[in-house]
Amino acid sequence: MVKPVKVGIVGLGTVGSGTVNVLQRNSAEIASRVGRPIEISHIGARRENPNCNIEGIKVSRDIFAVAADPEVDILVELIGGTTVARDLILQAISNGKHIVTANKALIAEHGNEIFTAAHAKGVDVAFEASVAGGIPILKSLGEGLAANHIKWIAGIINGTGNFILTEMREKGRAFADVLAEAQALGYAEADPTFDVEGIDAAHKLTILASIAYGIPLQFSKVYTEGISNLTTEDVEAAEQFGYRIKHLGIAKDTGNGIELRVHPTMIPHSVLLASVNGVMNAIMVDGDAVGPTLFYGAGAGAEPTASSVVADIIELGRALTADHDERVPYLGFHADAMNPAPVLPIDDVVCPFYIRLHVQDKPGVLADITRILSDNSISIEAMQQKDVDGDAPVPILMMTHSVREADLNAALKKIAALDTVLDEIVRIRVELLTA
Ligand code: HSE
């Protein structure tokens, strides 16, 4: 039996409970990725959380008991704040524990001290969840884009601010009104001025810039301007000029040094970042080799943030486990734990379809087509017949409900054989891309 990696989780709020749930739900897959099981061996929390099941796990009300527990290999700090969290992490490091944290303020403001202590003790500190929640932007910068010189980074890295700007633009709502809703929905920081005055974004930009450029964490040097002075009038005027206002964190290498700034920014409608709405986050990175790239996803929330926390636990688990020449398996999974699931044939794919046909304009044509579809159990969601002049072929456009590809093909073959159906039938698969 392989020895599990033992994890102590401190803080059982939104992200803590999400982390417990993801580790439990995906435990087999995660063990295959790490090469050993991950076991939550100790939880430090002032109170339980009904959103997760911690039956059978040791729980301490004194969170420092987790930092002192000799069983714990990795301490996961999810309490937030920069005072108790700092003491906890420094104590855990002095006890030889590796650290995973989602705490952006702590890393941005005390990261240099924490890394120095960790280096002296020979332990790792991982903090993917501290920037843009579920988007793996730190690993992307530090690994996937490591070949590049990063020219600039521009990111929507505060969901609350983006939600406010989106509501002002789309619904003409006033700033204060939308902020109250963001607080009620649980997006905003405990102190919402962190969101609207750009402090939260500045914490995240500090971390991004250090990883992109290798500079020490320098939160106090970030130029920070909030969105609280913006009015719906500004938002509408920007639109009339062909721009959209976004609250961006920007890091740029000018050749003379690095610009670090957070402020409202007008960006052309045509850039993808302009279409990032609501609480979503997105980060553009321009690398000298790769060119512009865009990373998009949920910047907060229980499981999106847990996705990054658990990725760090997996990374540290691998480092603790693996031979040094195989720290990250080539395909992400260990060679002896590959997934045996088959790759499915296209015939078995099930999805809605868009169909376009050209037919002769005479009675009964549509009835023939819909009969064939219904004989093959294909249901139509929407249909449109276009007006044409004279005897020209009539275009018929249809959206189906979900259908197995092989069944659709069989029906289309029969429809194509009708004398009244002219030209080739066009069909396009539809993916709604909702989570
Ligand atoms: N208050 C933050 C936001 C939470 O709105 O993005 C995630 O860091």
pLDDT mean over 287-292: 96
Extents of the domains making up the chain: 5-134+302-337, 146-298, 347-430
Q: Let me know: does 225 contact 263? Beta carbons within 8 Å.
A: yes
Q: Using the mean position of ligand 1's atoms as its centre, give its distance from the Cα of residue 178 in Å.
A: 15
Does the pLDDT of residue 331 top 70, yes or no? no
Q: Using the mean position of ligand 1's atoms as its centre, give its distance from the Cα of residue 277 in Å.
A: 14
Of the candidates 6, 97, 204, 252, the residue annotated as catalytic is 204
Q: What is the pLDDT of residue 240?
A: 84
Does the pLDDT of residue 326 top 80, yes or no? no
Q: What is the pLDDT of residue 37?
A: 96
Of 101, 135, 178, 187, the one to substitute when testing ligand 1's pocket (max ligand atoms within 8 A of C-beta) is 187
- Under the banding of pLDDT at 50, 70 and 90, the label for residue 237 is confident
What is the atom index within ligand 1 of the atom nearest the CA of 188? Answer: 1
Cα(203)–Cα(208) distance, integer angstroms: 9
pTM exceeding the 0.85 threshold for the entire prediction:
yes
Of 137, 189, 277, 279, the one to substitute when testing ligand 1's pocket (max ligand atoms within 8 A of C-beta) is 189
Does the pLDDT of residue 433 top 60, yes or no? no
Does the pLDDT of residue 323 top 70, yes or no? no
Pocket of ligand 1 (CB under 6 A): 133, 158-160, 187-189, 195, 200, 299-300
pLDDT mean over 281-296: 96
What is the atom index within ligand 1 of the atom nearest the CA of 300? Answer: 7
Cα(279)–Cα(83) distance, integer angstroms: 28
Cα(80)–Cα(203) distance, integer angstroms: 13
What is the CATH topology of the domain spanning 146-298?
Dihydrodipicolinate Reductase; domain 2 (3.30.360)
Does the pLDDT of residue 435 top 50, yes or no? no
pLDDT tens, position by position, 247-256: 999 999 989 8
Does the pLDDT of residue 353 top 60, yes or no? yes
Q: Using the mean position of ligand 1's atoms as its centre, give its distance from the Cα of residue 139 in Å.
A: 19
Active site residue 204: yes
pLDDT mean over 239-246: 89
Name the more confident of 100 and 318. 100
pLDDT tens, position by position, 201-220: 999 999 999 999 999 899 99
Cα(353)–Cα(429) distance, integer angstroms: 5
- Under the banding of pLDDT at 50, 70 and 90, the label for residue 329 is low
Q: Provide φ and ψ at 262, rounded to 5°.
A: -125, 120
What is the CATH topology of the domain spanning 5-134+302-337?
Rossmann fold (3.40.50)
Q: Residue 14: which residues within 8 A CB-CB, separation 6 or more?
A: 186, 301, 302, 305
Classify residue 42 by burial, with Cβ atoms within 10 Å: 0-12, 13-18, 19+. Answer: buried
Q: Using the mean position of ligand 1's atoms as its centre, give its distance from the Cα of residue 306 in Å.
A: 14
Look at residues 329, 89, 107, 306 and name the one whose alpha carbon lies nearest to residue 219: 107
What average pLDDT does the chain have? 92
Q: Using the mean position of ligand 1's atoms as its centre, give its distance from the Cα of residue 159 in Å.
A: 5
Three-state DSSP state, 162? helix
If you take atom 8 of ligand 1, which residue's CA is the nearest one?
300
Q: Which CATH number fits domain 347-430: 3.50.50.60, 3.40.50.10310, 3.40.50.720, 3.30.70.260?
A: 3.30.70.260
If you take atom 4 of ligand 1, which residue's CA is the nearest one?
300
What is the atom index within ligand 1 of the atom nearest the CA of 130? Answer: 8
pLDDT tens, position by position, 103-120: 999 999 999 999 999 999
